[in-house]
Structure 1
């Protein structure tokens, strides 16, 4: 489940999350977005990334968290999956951390709501837990209501 052992980290609300660095294309500051009519509410819009049109998914509602404070701008973590590039909107970017693959544990039973299906598992770090985000499930919004 966790082939690599380096993760790009970021926060969304109080959650400290990570994505395998091999899935991250780039991290960029907030970009103006074009709204998509009738899209699921987690799809904030489309961004133009050097001529490539990329959908932007806000991880706050995707994880069942309250909206960002007024005026707080998200950061784009552009990831690649089989469908192409997708931007995940996060609150704050962290560092790339290295972890031992054998310290991976299944997702905690205490996770509830939408986040339960989007978290693959955890790594115990010195001061907190690193929740590993399932990128493919996070960007799959086909089952969500608009």
Structure 2
């Protein structure tokens, strides 16, 4: 008997798709006012209010090494839980929830962009694609691979820098 599928929230950041296990995601938000956080690291976009709580908003474009978004462009926020705290991840869009067979999960390849290796927990391929399919991005395995983000690897260094 095969294991049950794992579910991921798929998001876009600078025309690239990333995913996070759905059990870390608490909510998705449209754009809202961000309050500045003085002396915060550059990747902290600000603070936002979510259901009466102040939440640190992390800009995933900056975290993942992309150029800043157009100030007039839209964004969305994913509220995620990590070590008992809530964080807002600022992304370009929230695309879908994807069910994936755990046996199809691939390890991050050595060819994966250097900026993403420390935070990548694996790769998910769209249906019908294999590691041998070639396009740009993941230079050997294909741009269409969705990079699964490890929440701890993503947030722990950010919060250590902020403290």
Compute the RMSD of aligned alpha carbons: 1.9
Tell which structure's C-alpha radius of gyration is larger: 2
Structure number with greater CO (CA < 8 Å, separation at least 6) is 1
Deviation at 1:4, TM superposition (A): 6.2
- Which residue does 1:55 correspond to in 2? 56
**How far apart, CA to CA, are the structure 2 residues paired with 1:134 and 1:39?**
22
2:15 paired with 1:14? yes
What do residues 8-46 of structure 1 show as CA deviations (whole Å, max 9, x unaligned)? 111101321111111100001012011111111000111
Distance in 1 separating the partners of 2:146 and 2:116: 14
- Compare the two structures and name the one with the higher strand fraction: 1
**Counterparts of 1:1-146 in structure 2 under 5 Å?**
5-126=6-127, 128-140=144-156, 141-144=158-161
C-alpha distance in 1 between matches for 2:159 and 2:51: 26
Q: After TM superposition, what 4+ stretches of structure 1 lie above 3 angstroms from structure 2?
A: 142-145
Give CA deviations for 1:23-82 in whole Å, capped at 9, x if unaligned.
Answer: 100001012011111111000111011210100000001000011123012100000011
Structure 2 residue runs of 5 or longer lacking an equivalent are 130-143
TM-score, normalised to structure 1's length? 0.90
- Distance in 1 (alpha carbons) for counterparts of 2:126 and 2:54: 36
How many residues end up aligned between the 2 structures?
144
Following TM superposition, by how much is the alpha carbon of 1:130 offset from its aligned partner in structure 2, in angstroms? 1.6
